[in-house]
Amino acid sequence: MDNIYLLMIVALAALAIADLVVGVSNDAVNFLNSAIGSKALSFRTILIIASLGIFIGAVFSSGMMEVARKGIFVPGEFYFDEIMIIFMAVMITDILLLDFFNTIGLPTSTTVSIVFELLGAAVIMALIKIGHNDAESISAITKYINTEKAIEIIIGILVSVAIAFTVGAIVQYLSRLVFTFHVEKKMKYFGAIFGGIALTCITYFILVKGLKGTPFYSSFKDIIESDTWMLITGSFIFWTIFSQLFMTIFKKNILIIVIAVGTFSLALAFAGNDLVNFIGVPMAAYHSYMDWSASGVAASEYSMHSLAEKVPAEPMLLFIAGGVMV
């Protein structure tokens, strides 16, 4: 009977690879559409830049793996056999859902998918446990579900949509206001400043937001947080001078560099934050299996408190995942 769980780990590994392929196909439109539509760079160049960003982001993405382990449910309230059933249900549902949306040509959020899949699977398992326990009522479901964190994640998703729409509209309006008429003339006077502002924002996004929560971020966290404004000011001055020199020497539009660096940063953040949607569950299942195997306790009696601990770094698994995504 114990071999069934090893087979489930193998199945989850296969499902993780399939999920990476299907998931990247679904999410690629989110960070490639703008660059491809601009026609500022060749399709081959865009793919190379995005691939580099995805690979680097994937290797340094272990900080987001906590969501699959304890972000939605309380792991200590479930036994090992129940956790494995939850993880299997989540991965099978995720692949079927993403493949369905890809088939009909509609992109969907992998973050929303994985969050509600974990929530749904955990709620059903909790209801089964409550049904077999005469001492518990339906109100006991809050004991099994991390409601505070789950609500926080769901609200964060909804708020991010509103913020993205608002900020995107403002930036688009200002950009069009400056460059719509007499583009070449205005680019000569305002191009360097615009390039400096855009590249500074992207640099901040990469250093602070794109890599936040990764092990790599902790090495320069103190410097960034203590000297944020100095970093932003220095970055603006550097990128403004760079933009002016680029336009003067190469006689090309600085927006080409902005699009290239922006595509890289989006791919980096996508891999760093969204990789958990593809391999977070299989990695949590693998760690659960290793903990249970070492315990010598029956699967139906081993409580999964270990999942509440900090996720162990798995550089090799992240390296392989990054290669598959590319």
- Chunked mean pLDDT (size 10), the chain, 326 residues: 84 89 76 85 91 82 66 91 95 89 80 89 94 87 89 89 93 84 78 92 79 64 78 93 93 90 87 77 91 90 87 73 81
Structure tokens at 258: 């902005």
Cα 159 off chain centre by: 16
Angle at 213 between CA 206 and CA 207, to 5 degrees: 20
Handedness of CA 17, 19, 24, 25 (dihedral sign): positive
pLDDT at 123: 94
Q: What is the DSSP string of 227-286?
A: SHHHHHHHHHHHHHHHHHHHHHHH---THHHHHHHHHHHHHHHHHHHHHHHHHHHHHHHH
Task: Indicate the SS3 state at residue 73.
Answer: strand
For residues 281 and 67, give the distance between their C-alpha atoms in angstroms, rounded to a whole number.
Answer: 9
pLDDT value, residue 89: 94
Which run of H or E residues covers position 131? helix 110-131
The owner of tokens 């059933």 is 85
| pLDDT at residue number 109 | 81
User: Do residues 72 and 149 touch, judged by C-beta distance below 8 A?
Assistant: yes
What distance lies between CA 64 and its chain's CA centroid?
Answer: 7
| Structure token pair of residue 210 | 């794109």
CA 258/CA 194 separation, integer angstroms: 10
Pick from 182, 237, 202, 230: nearest CA to 34: 202
Asked if 62 and 321 touch (Cβ cutoff 8 Å), the reply is no
Structure tokens at 296: 């010598």
pLDDT, residue 260, reads 94
Q: How far is it, in rounded angstroms, from Cα 144 to Cα 131?
A: 13
Please tell me the pTM assigned to this model.
0.83
